[in-house]
Amino acid sequence: MESRVLPTNLLAFIPLFPLVGAAINGLFGAHLQRAFGKKAIGLVGVALPWAAFVFAVLAVAQLWREPEGTTLVHRVYGWIGVGFLSVEVAFALDRLSAMMVLVVTFVGSLIHVYSLGYMAEDKAFWRFFSYLNLFLFAMLVLVLADNVLLMFVGWEGVGLCSYLLIGFWYEDLANARAGAKAFVVNRIGDFGFLVGFFILFWGLGGAFTETGYHIGSGYSLAFRDLPALVATAGDKTLWGLDLFTWVGILFFVGATGKSAQIPLYVWLPDAMAGPTPVSALIHAATMVTAGVFLVARMNFLYAHSPLAMTIVAMVGAATALFAATIGVFQYDIKKVLAYSTVSQLGYMFVGVGVGAFWAGAYHLLTHAFFKAALFLGAGSVILAMHHEQDMRKMGGLGKVMPVTRWTYWLACVAISGFPIASGFFSKDEILWQAFNTNALLVPGWLPWLLGFAAAGLTSFYMWRSYFMTFTGPLAKIEGHGHGRGHGHQDAAPREQPAVITGVLVVLAAGAVLASLIGLPMLWTGHAPWLEHFLAPTFAAAEGLPKTFTGHEAHRLEWLLMLASTAVATIGLGLAWWLYRGRDNPVPAQLAARFPGTHRVVFNKYFVDEAYQRSFVWGFMSTSRLSAWFDQHILDALVNLVAALTRLFAALDGLIDAYVVDGMVNTVGNGVRASGRGLRQLQTGRIPQYLAVVVAGAVMLVVLARFIVDVYT
Amino acid sequence: MPTLESLPHVLPEVALAVTAAALFVLEALWQPRGRARRVGFPLLALGGLLAALLFLVASPSSAEPRFFGGLLTQDPFSTFVRGVAIVATALAVGLALGSPSLPSNRRVEYHGLLVLLALGMCLLSSAGHLLMIYVAIEIVSLTSYLLAGFDDRGGRSAEAGLKYVLFGGVASGVMLFGFSLLFGLFGDLSLSGLGQALAHSTTLSTGAGRWATLLALVFVLAGLGFKIAAVPFHMWCPDVYEGAPTPFTALLSVGPKAAGFAVLLRFGTGLWPELATDAAAATSALPWLLLLGVMSTVTMTVGNLAAIWQDNLKRLLAYSSIAHAGYMLMGVVAGGREGPGAVAVYLAVYLIMNIGAFAVVSAVDRSAHSEDIGVYHGLGRRAPLLALAMAVFLLSLTGLPPTAGFVGKLYLFASLIHHGGFWYVLLAVVGVLNSVVSLYFYARVLRAMFLESAAGEPAPVSLANSAAALAVVLAVPTLALGIFWQPLAAIANFSGSLF
Amino acid sequence: MIETQTTLLTWMTFTPLIGVAAIGLLLMARPLLGLSQRAVDHGARLLALLTTLPSLALSYVMWRDFDGAAGGVQFVHHTPWIRAFNIEYFMGVDGLSVTMVMLTALISSVAVIASMPWGIARDDSHHFSRRQVPGYMALLLLLETGMFGVFCALDFFLFYVLWELVLLPMYFLIGIWGGPRREYAAIKFFLYTLAGSVLMLLGMIALYYASEPTTLVDGTAAAHTFNMLKLAEQANRFELMAPILGLPFTKVVWVGMFIAFAIKVPMFPFHTWLPDAHVEAPTPISVLLAGVLLKMGPYGMLRVNYPILPEATLWAQWGVAIFGAINIVYAAFVCMAQKDLKKLIAYSSVSHMGFVLLGMAAFTPQGISGAVYQMWNHGIISPALFLIAGVIYDRAHHREIEGFGGLSKNLPEYTAITGLAFMASLGLPGLNGFISEALVLVGAFPVFKVITIVSASGVIITAAYYLLTMQRVFLGKLNEKYAALRDLNWRERLTLYPLVALMVVLGFYPMPILDLMNPTLHSLVLPFAQRTGLVTGP
Amino acid sequence: MAQVGLQHFLVVAALLFALGIVCVVTRRNAVAVLIGIELLLNAAGINVVAFARYGGNLLAGSAFALFIIALAAAEAVVGLALIFAIHRRLRSVDLEQTETLKG
């Protein structure tokens, strides 16, 4: 498949629109809001993302018309040019980014609309839309970036926006802390990304040989040039591992930060401190999938490195199961969804990790819809409950909030993997591909088994949240709220306005309809449409070995599909039995029966606490130790030199009654005391002076004698 | 050159002698009162000094540098140092105008002694004979003793004089003993004769001879070290500086020191003539140079460290002048043409900045009647011009560019580094580190003047006196010579040679 | 060799000195004209502005006319000065110094504006901007001349004189107008830097006597030279010199010079003067100290150590890199534990200057350009940070990080600016700090793998301490004690906005600066790169 | 009895010198110290004369010795004058008391 590059002038506008929105609302928002009200803010904040969506559609349409393998490239200007490193601000649209850009702009714009309703009561309306637009800008830069460095701009940019939005209600210090935690944990991942980038740059830059360091010709950091360049540098090794493996693993470290995988997932549950649209957009639909996108982007690296693939797949699978187990025990509806997101991201990594890049991307897409729907549905519930998030205090809301209920129901169907909705197709494809892969260092059934178990748990905890929220007796609203200006006077929960429910409907529809582009070959007889669409981008995946082929493979795939449906049904059934109507005493009994297990899992395996006691403690101790060292050793050394100087002065017998201020911080008193004893030389008494003269002369004679002996 | 033909070459000395005699005679015969007394005698002294300076500048050049049968040796270096001595004396005369530290009824004596001192310094700087060295040192010393004890307002001055005379007496006694040993060992009293004898002598090959020579050299060094206030012969210095009348202290810190350096250099080049041309070749002078090197190191270190603790400005400057003697010793050690050249430049610079600093001390003393650092608090606000001048002097003494002091240090370090040997570079390193230490106490004064405010109601500092005027005037060349120092380079060029 | 001469740099450098003279005249004229204290103060402020802004304008002209692609030394003003030591007055800029000169002009202007008392409460007569204004302004201008001169001087002696000239005003500016422990901080700064510069003096003299005969600009013969360009041409000769103190000549001289410059950088373990100096210095002085004075250190290394003593530079390569990494990581850790906002920023300067050392040591084009660009960026960011610290200090009269809280509620503009500056400092992509740090790391990695990775971990620590600070000062419940604080005033805007704008613009479009310096810097490190086997061929 | 030779003079001079040193270092009385100084000067004088007599350069040595005697007298005069001045003030010539200037 030949690749070709088509220049265009369209792409830069896609990120530009939200940037303009962010700038307008950020710089003048406060004034605008005062002068024209929130409508003006909302208009700017919502219209520009939609404009970005329109341009995205136009650009994708243009790409559509071109033969496959085409990349649209928009070169804006030369960004950094130093030596043979030359980086442009340039945007590129290939089929992977086409999918991403549509998802991001569409879901993003929808959530902007939703936010009009959700944030309507907030005083800092302008700030919220400014941040949200800025996020969209950064995300689009990430998705559209033509090269690794520009992608990193988007990569960190979304991290920044995430920080800002998590801590949006900064007056509660816990929110601010959650934001900072997210940023710092992300930075740990970014450190991996950066080191990966160094190795990539070094690897591409040339090689040390006997004759020197040879710079590769045709040097470029653009994604479309990388596969060919990397192939030539493939034999390079560093500390025993080859280039692909290093870069692959290190970029995945970056991905674990951004996409909340073990061990860096800890920030995501805390990130739920942000407003719910933020959780939906950033911490479910778009930003957190950036890691998956990165791995998919760099598929040509992973396809060459079984070790890197294995790590990605196994970490993904482990995270999927691990987070699912935590999700089972959460009572905060957003926390349930947060762990669910972590878990679903794990699936995506399994997908890209086993070489089924398109499946990972597909799950990314379906997840964007159903998880956004779930979060926004939860947001709707939270609004109705006046910012109550504890599911134990909810119940029976299905009667009063039909739209929310049924969209949530649809999304639950999708996520738990029933064959009518999109989640089934994407997840099942991943599980099947995992089972069938032979490209890892571990047998394919291992990640499959973990993912399979997680699927059952997913079904259980999602339906648990559904039943706890929407069935049973109608909840009473306790009169507290968080005092954020949501001064509803009526006490009963009720359905939210159309600006919110409309978005829910669209997303739920998307969650179902997205299945159309991923119907498996088993059902339709030809490869899924999306697989075909993305194939040019994932050319590297084609040659990866499979365990089963042909008829045997088909039979197994059917079998696994049935198994998946069965396990989802079991999960649903359990949740139905335990939580429907909210009157079954068994959950409480179980918790009482196994207090230890319950405690450990309910407290998320104490991972946060363990991190706090190990890494954070070590970090802060190092910091304190360094500061102490600086102040008490290094600075004191300087003072010691000064003190020694003074000591010599004292030996000369000339110490003053008081210590000259300044340099003496540490040894002053000691020197002073010893100095008094020694200050007897310049006493003012002449005989003594004369004695010094004589003694000095004698010393000089001895010295001279010594010198003469040595030198003559 | 025999006696009569020599006379035209010592006209400056003659002028000084005549002036001194005139002052004493007039005092004895005429005893004027009032204005003539206050102004006339200083003017007469200044006139004599000026005449001497003119004679010096106009002195005929001579192919033969030795006069009076070798008693005096005149070379560019000695000419320069004589100039420094005369100018320093003139400045001291100026500084003394209206100074409260001098009893008004004995002003004439003061000026007469000053001119006599100048004469001694001139003779000392060109002495080429042990006898002449001794006589000149005694002239300088005796007048200095008297001048140090001149202030009869309190006990301090007399105490200073007594200490000075006893210490000086011992020093010159020891030196004289050294001279006698040299005379015995090498059978000559003139430096050139000693040099020749030393070059051919077998004395140094015997153990006893070596001991005796060393003893003699160290004894001589004691006397000369006393004059330049080098450790360990410096003990008198802080006490005498503090006790003596400030105008005289200013002169004492420069003039005798300059003459002492002249004779020290001449002594070295006299005994080891190759020191004057190629210091590296003077292997036989190695013990002498190493002694001086050690002395230099110890002197600047002790001077600087001790100065850290001083609260009396005069005492602080005394230790500072000890340290500066150490710096200048570096130039003596470097030898060759560059060493004396560097010493000459440093002397010129030191003359300006040190007398300038003492002028400020004197000016403040006239208002505040104290030299304690406490009275300098807030001087930057009370007398900005004076404080600014003091700042310039202090920074120059530290050796910071763009002041003349930096140029002086530059010459000294350059002379050592150009030489390049291990010990030379080590000495230079010690020298620069000492400059850093010296900053500490000079900055104390800066801090007092600018960073701290005066406690209570301090006496206003008057600028309308000769000391303040002199300080401000001297600050100008201190700064100007730091920015454009071609004139100093000319000095170095001129006075680099000793015969 | 160089035909055309221009006095542009001379005018730029010494225009502030005219201001000093004018302020002096004003003071002398005060009794004659019967001016009030207020009038004199205002006059001094006006004169400072009037002599600083022309320098800024001249630096703009210089930037406009500087031919970055051509490289080499431009805007030369070259004439004999003191023939005794073959000293010349030799001013000129190349790609290395042109950025530093621009930085000096910019930051000096910012500092002068920041020294105005606009917006300071009238009753706050102890504020540094109201105390002894003429003296303050005169010293500030003197400092400015020194800084310009250091970056323009191409004669070593001239360089040295101007280098030392910077010390004095700084001493007084910290010592007189500083905080409670100002005297301690001032003398510490003075002693530290003087100790360094005397080593430079010895090294300079040694180089002078080691140089071979050449000619002055007017054609007269000179046995030795202080001309830095000529010294660089004679670099090979220094290898042949007799040892100093029993050690190889070039290495001894190199180490002496390096320590002198490292103290200014400041490099671990010579950095302890910096926190004290910064904490005590008034805001504009901190701005100058961090923005310009620290740059003199690495500038000196690149101007002296690199071209004149290349063999020793190669020898010390790893040492420099290791110290760079220590600076980055160690200082970042120290930052975490700081309670005083200004001290934190001071230590963050130490950390960020570590990148300069690391980038320099790599000898790669990316490394060196990154290093100098980092100097420039740090020169933009850290002044902004110190101004920010000054804003809060002017209002609350303390800087304890723990003492605030929730300030963003009533100081939104200030919060936004602070956030942006913090982000730029922690290397957020899209802002200028990122570009230089990334260039340094990218350039250093092929040479020092482990060291670079260790250094890169600094980004995590940096993020942690800035966010922690952000959180403690600005987020959370508003501390009611500070409910009455007002947001930025116009003076603060005037100083902060240009810097913040530059952070953004130069993050997205760094080429105007990079283009200026690339050719010069790359030809500077190319010989090293060839020697280390990093590059073969062009 | 051996003839008196150079060594004898030198031994006497050295003894005188040593006595002078001991005197100036140990005595607290200013006049005594002054006397010690005279001993030092005279030790040198004896040396010079002896060397002149035995070394052959009689004229130079003798002249030097005369100068030494003259200047020793001058120094003693100045010293005594200053001692008088101190005595007027302190009523004592004890050097242990002359310690206003110190440190």
As averages over each run of 10 residues, the pLDDT of chain A (712 residues) reads: 76 92 88 85 90 93 86 89 83 90 92 88 88 93 91 91 89 87 90 89 61 54 80 74 87 91 87 87 87 90 88 92 88 89 92 89 90 90 84 82 89 86 87 87 88 91 89 72 48 80 89 84 80 84 81 85 89 86 78 81 79 81 81 74 63 36 32 36 69 79 73 58
In a domain, D65, yes or no: yes
Residue in C521, C159, C121 with CA at minimum distance from that of residue C360? C521
Cα–Cα distance, B351 to B258 (Å, whole number): 9
Closest B-chain CA to D52: B184
Dihedral sign from CA coordinates of C403, C409, C410, C416: positive
In a domain, B198, yes or no: no
Number of domains in chain B: 2
Closest B-chain CA to C84: B489
User: Is residue A400 classed exposed, middle or buried when 0-12, 13-18 and 19+ CB atoms within 10 A define those classes?
Assistant: middle
Supply the pLDDT for residue B160. Answer: 87
Cα–Cα distance, C176 to A325 (Å, whole number): 65
**Closest approach of C182 to chain B, Cα-based (Å):** 9
In a domain, B346, yes or no: yes
Same structural domain for residues B235 and B290? Answer: no
Q: Which of residues 664-693 of A touch B (CB under 8 A)?
A: 682, 684, 686, 689-690, 692-693
B426 in contact with C at a CB cutoff of 8 Å?
yes
D83 in contact with A at a CB cutoff of 8 Å?
no
Q: Do you find a cis peptide bond into B232, omega within 30 degrees of 0?
A: yes
Residue in C434, C453, C400 with CA at minimum distance from that of residue C504? C434
Instruction: State residue C301 phi and psi, 5-degree precision.
Output: -60, -45
Closest B-chain CA to C195: B436
B210 in contact with C at a CB cutoff of 8 Å?
no
> For the stretch C266-300, what's the b/e string if a residue is b when 16 or more beta carbons lie within 10 angstroms of its beta carbon?
bbbbbbbbbbbbbbbbbbbbbbbbbbbbbbbbbbb
A697 contacts B174? CB cut-off 8 A: yes
Closest C-chain CA to A661: C184
Beta strands A237-238 and C214-215 are: unpaired
Q: What is the rounded radius of gyration, in angstroms, for the C-alpha atoms of chain A?
A: 32
| Residue range(s) defining the domain that contains residue D57 | 7-101
Cα–Cα distance, B492 to B490 (Å, whole number): 5
Looking up residue D49, the CATH number of its domain turns out to be 1.10.287.3510
**Closest approach of C96 to chain A, Cα-based (Å):** 14
C161 contacts B401? CB cut-off 8 A: yes
Supply the pLDDT for residue D2. Answer: 63
In a domain, D83, yes or no: yes
Tell me which chain D residues have a C-beta less than 8 angstroms from the C-beta of A691.
25
In a domain, B497, yes or no: yes
Supply the pLDDT for residue C350. Answer: 92
In a domain, B124, yes or no: yes
Note whether C touches B: 3 CB pairs or more under 8 A: yes
Asked if residue C361 has pLDDT above 80, the reply is yes
Cα–Cα distance, B81 to B227 (Å, whole number): 15
Ordered alpha helix ranges (H), A215-332: 226-232, 243-258, 267-270, 276-280, 290-297, 299-302, 306-328
Instruction: State residue A147 phi and psi, 5-degree precision.
Output: -135, 170
Which of B132, B176, B219 would best serve as a mutation to test chain D binding (most D beta carbons within 10 A)? B176
Q: What are residue A242's DSSP bridge partners?
A: A237
Same structural domain for residues B351 and B485? Answer: yes
C487 in contact with B at a CB cutoff of 8 Å?
no
Q: Output the CA–CA distances (angstroms, integers) from residue A88 to A4, A75, A706, in the order listed.
A: 19, 7, 73
Cα–Cα distance, A91 to A77 (Å, whole number): 10
Looking at chain C, the whole-number percentage of residues with pLDDT higher than 90 is 48
C471 in contact with A at a CB cutoff of 8 Å?
yes
Question: What is the total residue count of chain C?
Answer: 538
Confidence of residue C529 (pLDDT cuts 50, 70, 90): confident
A685 in contact with D at a CB cutoff of 8 Å?
yes
Q: Output the CA–CA distances (angstroms, integers) from residue B191 to A61, B188, B271, in the order listed.
A: 106, 8, 6
Cα–Cα distance, A455 to A449 (Å, whole number): 10
Which residue of A689, A703, A712 is in closest CB contact with B291? A703
D57 in contact with B at a CB cutoff of 8 Å?
yes
Residue in A333, A463, A328 with CA at minimum distance from that of residue A385? A333
Beta strands A237-238 and A241-242 are: antiparallel
Cα–Cα distance, A92 to A4 (Å, whole number): 12
Cα–Cα distance, B85 to B257 (Å, whole number): 9
D16 in contact with B at a CB cutoff of 8 Å?
no
Same structural domain for residues B355 and B467? Answer: yes
Same structural domain for residues B165 and B296? Answer: no
In a domain, B419, yes or no: yes
Supply the pLDDT for residue B57. Answer: 87
C535 in contact with B at a CB cutoff of 8 Å?
no
Q: Output the CA–CA distances (angstroms, integers) from residue B184 to B180, B181, D61, in the order listed.
A: 6, 5, 10
Closest B-chain CA to D88: B155
Cα–Cα distance, D82 to D93 (Å, whole number): 10
Number of domains in chain D: 1
For the stretch C420-457, pLDDT in tens is: 999 999 989 989 999 999 999 988 888 888 999 999 98
Same structural domain for residues B148 and B292? Answer: no
In a domain, D48, yes or no: yes
**Closest approach of B219 to chain D, Cα-based (Å):** 11
Residue in B206, B208, B207, B203 with CA at minimum distance from that of residue B186? B203
Q: Which of residues 210-239 of C touch B (CB under 8 A)?
A: none
Looking at chain D, the whole-number percentage of residues with pLDDT higher than 70 is 90
In terms of average pLDDT, the best of A374-388, A693-707, C135-149, D76-90 is C135-149
Note whether A touches C: 3 CB pairs or more under 8 A: yes
Cα–Cα distance, A534 to A352 (Å, whole number): 13
Dihedral sign from CA coordinates of B433, B438, B441, B447: negative
Same structural domain for residues B236 and B117? Answer: yes
Tell the residue number behind the tokens 């001083």, with chain if given: B310
- State the average pLDDT over residues C466-487: 87
Q: Do you find a cis peptide bond into C429, omega within 30 degrees of 0?
A: no
Closest B-chain CA to D18: B174
Q: Output the CA–CA distances (angstroms, integers) from residue C261 to A248, A636, C293, in the order listed.
A: 41, 22, 11
Q: Which pair of structure tokens corresponds to residue A499?
A: 């600006």
Supply the pLDDT for residue A708. Answer: 67
Which of A685, A689, A693, A701 would best serve as a mutation to test chain D binding (most D beta carbons within 10 A)? A685
Cα–Cα distance, A320 to A259 (Å, whole number): 12
Note whether B touches D: 3 CB pairs or more under 8 A: yes
C463 in contact with A at a CB cutoff of 8 Å?
yes
Helix, strand, or coil (residue C102): helix
C167 contacts B417? CB cut-off 8 A: no
Cα–Cα distance, A549 to A535 (Å, whole number): 19
Cα–Cα distance, B476 to B453 (Å, whole number): 26
- Judge contact between A42 and A109, C-beta under 8 A: no
A648 in contact with B at a CB cutoff of 8 Å?
yes
A696 in contact with B at a CB cutoff of 8 Å?
yes
**Closest approach of D26 to chain A, Cα-based (Å):** 6
Supply the pLDDT for residue C538. Answer: 38
C467 contacts A180? CB cut-off 8 A: yes
Dihedral sign from CA coordinates of A586, A587, A590, A595: negative
Q: Which of residues 1-60 of C touch B (CB under 8 A)?
A: 27
B489 contacts C85? CB cut-off 8 A: yes
**Closest approach of D60 to chain A, Cα-based (Å):** 28
In order along its 499 residues, chain B shows pLDDT tens digits of 667 777 888 889 999 999 999 988 887 787 666 666 677 788 889 999 999 999 988 877 777 778 887 888 888 888 899 999 999 999 999 888 877 777 766 777 888 899 999 999 999 998 989 999 999 999 999 999 989 988 777 778 888 888 899 889 999 999 999 999 999 888 888 888 888 888 887 777 777 787 888 888 889 998 899 999 998 888 889 889 988 988 899 999 999 999 999 999 999 888 888 887 776 666 777 788 888 999 999 899 888 888 877 888 998 999 999 999 999 999 999 888 888 999 999 999 999 999 999 999 999 988 888 888 888 988 888 888 899 999 999 999 999 888 999 999 999 999 988 887 888 888 999 998 888 888 888 988 988 888 887 777 777 777 778 889 999 999 999 999 998 888 888 888 888 777 6
C396 in contact with B at a CB cutoff of 8 Å?
no
In a domain, B177, yes or no: no
In a domain, D1, yes or no: no
Cα–Cα distance, C253 to C243 (Å, whole number): 10
Which residue of B380, B401, B451 is in closest CB contact with C164? B401
Which of B235, B440, B444, B452 would best serve as a mutation to test chain A binding (most A beta carbons within 10 A)? B235
Cα–Cα distance, C366 to C439 (Å, whole number): 5
A240 in contact with C at a CB cutoff of 8 Å?
no
| Residue range(s) defining the domain that contains residue B402 | 272-499
A196 in contact with C at a CB cutoff of 8 Å?
no
Final residue before a domain boundary, out of B269, B297, B316: B269
Instruction: State residue B98 phi and psi, 5-degree precision.
Output: 70, 10
Tell me which chain C residues have a C-beta less than 8 angstroms from the C-beta of A152.
429
Which residue of D33, D74, D82 is in closest CB contact with B158? D82
Q: Output the pTM of the full model.
A: 0.88
Which residue of D21, D96, D100 is in closest CB contact with A694? D21
Q: Which of residues 171-230 of C touch A (CB under 8 A)?
A: 183-184, 187-188, 192
D33 in contact with A at a CB cutoff of 8 Å?
yes
Note whether C touches D: 3 CB pairs or more under 8 A: no
Same structural domain for residues B243 and B341? Answer: no
D24 contacts A687? CB cut-off 8 A: yes
